[in-house]
Amino acid sequence: MSQHYDVAAIRRAFPAAEHVVYLDSGFQTPLSRPVKEAYERFLREGFETAGPKQIWLNRLEETRAKVAALLGAQPHEIAFTKNTSESMNIAANALPLRAGDKVLMIHGDHPNNAYAFLNLAKKGVEVAFIPMTDVVNADSFRSHIDERTRAISMSHVTFHAGHRFDVESVGQLCEQHGLYFVVDVMQGIGVTPIDAKAMKATFIGSGTHKGLLVPQGLGLLYWDATRVELEPAYLAAASLAEPPLDFIARPDNMALPATAGRFELGNFNLPAIQGLDAAIDLINAVGIGNVEAHCFDLGDYLIERLDQLDVGLVGPRDRQHRAPHIYVVALPATEWLDYFTQNGIRVSPERDGIRVSLGMFNTTADIDRLIEAIRARNVPSTQARTAVLSKLG
């Protein structure tokens, strides 16, 4: 049950949720019927008519507008990419960074973000990591900014412990110090509202195979279109303001458009984009605020049940600092992952435990199944464990 929307109806759109206790949307979404139908339409059109490319491209522009609305941005600020990593690399290489410049990041943040910037060492750009704590905000970065600092790059939500960092305050700090700000929203998008303008982000990167409900292989890039000085490292005809209609490249007309299309290369992942269109319609029909509220409620319920079992939670507990849908249970993955799998519960191994990640189709019954599985293994309480360990010691 949910007080926010008809979860039972939504669950019927995700048949996989009936076959397994699916608590792994932070890894990959199960497919929903509307997304499957969008792929099927694409296949049918390709199969029967060899592909109405222009119709597909027209639809792509409609999807671009929906992505923009989801991020509080304008359609011309959105580019389609391959995944988060590609978006972060496009961003890192578009920033006008030179030898001696410094980029601040958070230690232990997602490697697909970190390597995009670490790779700039080739240009003499330095990455300095600040420590990861349960709360990361402007104050966490402030004392690390010096005259060489040019940019900050960070995740909005962490994949490994469900922190939701205060990106708005960091964006404000970047504006005050004239720094570029690059944000990886892969873990939060589709589950928690994202406002590119409130974040004051220069670039935002994401994939679409978690909260945005489509299969792997499609990414998104938001670019603050006032930053016209930021140019792509790679170029294709599609990146130009005036691609040559006769398909003969002319070095004297390589002007870039005033749109994020400057960061796009060649043909698109059209089936995934059509899937994304259907997925955003589904998210909008439920309401992103309702998805967030529902996941928060399930998270509160999970925390309460874990407390009753005296099993710890890794990462922040309060709603202000945690993501609605990512919870890491302090049970060693080496001991617990196979057990959950054998019991029909799909979760992910993480650095400090077992990650439980929620989607719009989950219910308290899913949490109950997880809790019952933990209880069935008869976890000793912390006190009992401590007593056992002290005897052993």
Contact 250, 240 (CB under 8 A): no
Is 81 an interacting residue with respect to ligand PLP (CB under 6 A)? no
- The distance in angstroms from the start CA to the end CA of the chain is 47
Q: How far apart are CA 289 and CA 391, in angstroms?
A: 50
Buried-state track 125-162, b at ≥16 Cβ within 10 A, e below 16: bbbeebebeeebbbebbeeebeeebbbbbbbbbbbbbb
Q: Which of residues 329-388 bind ligand PLP (CB under 6 A)?
A: none
Q: Tokens at residue 76, please?
A: 């011309």
**Nearer CB in complex with ligand PLP: 176/234:** 234
CB of 85 to ligand PLP, least distance (A): 3
Residue (2 or 275) nearer to ligand PLP, CB:
275
The separation between CA 324 and the C-alpha centre of its own chain, rounded to angstroms, equals 13
Binding characters for ligand PLP, 138-177, by CB under 6 A (x = yes): -----------------x---x------------------
Cross-strand partners of 98: none
Count the site residues for ligand PLP by CB under 6 A.
13
* Least Å from the CB of residue 223 to ligand PLP: 17
Residue of the chain from 2, 140, 187, 363 that contacts ligand PLP (CB under 6 A)? 187
Of 121, 203, 200, the C-alpha closest to 168 is 200
CB of 37 to ligand PLP, least distance (A): 24
Give the CA-trace dihedral at 87, 91, 93, 94, to 10 degrees. Answer: 130
Looking at the Cβ atoms of 219 and 299, the one nearer to ligand PLP is 219
Instruction: Decide: 186 and 206 in contact? Cβ < 8 Å.
Output: yes
Task: Report the site for ligand PLP in 89-148 (rule: CB under 6 A).
Answer: 110, 112-113
Shortest Å, Cβ 326 to ligand PLP: 9
Token code pair at residue 116 = 């995009």
Pick the piece of the chain touching ligand PLP (CB under 6 A) from 7-15, 32-40, 181-189, 244-252.
Answer: 181-189
Cβ of residue 186: shortest distance to ligand PLP, in angstroms? Answer: 4
Task: Give the phi and the psi of residue 144 in degrees, each rounded to 5.
Answer: -90, -5
CA angle 207, 208, 214 (to 5 degrees): 150
Q: Which of 105, 149, 97, 161 is nearest to 125 (CA)?
A: 97
Residue 268 vs 373, nearer CB to ligand PLP? 268
Would you give the binding string for ligand PLP spanning residues 199-218, x where CB under 6 A is met?
Answer: --------x-----------
CA pair distance 58, 371, nearest whole angstrom: 47
Q: Which is nearer to ligand PLP, 84 or 140 (CB)?
A: 84
Name which of 314, 315, 354 is nearest 334 in CA terms. 354
Specify whether the CB–CB gap between 368 and 304 falls below 8 A.
no
Q: Which stretch binds ligand PLP (CB under 6 A): 81-89, 146-154, 364-372, 377-385?
A: 81-89
Binding ligand PLP (rule: CB under 6 A), the pick from 184, 224, 264, 277 is: 184
Minimum distance of ligand PLP from residue 113's CB (angstroms): 6
- Positions touching ligand PLP (CB under 6 A) are 83-85, 110, 112-113, 155, 159, 184, 186-187, 207, 219
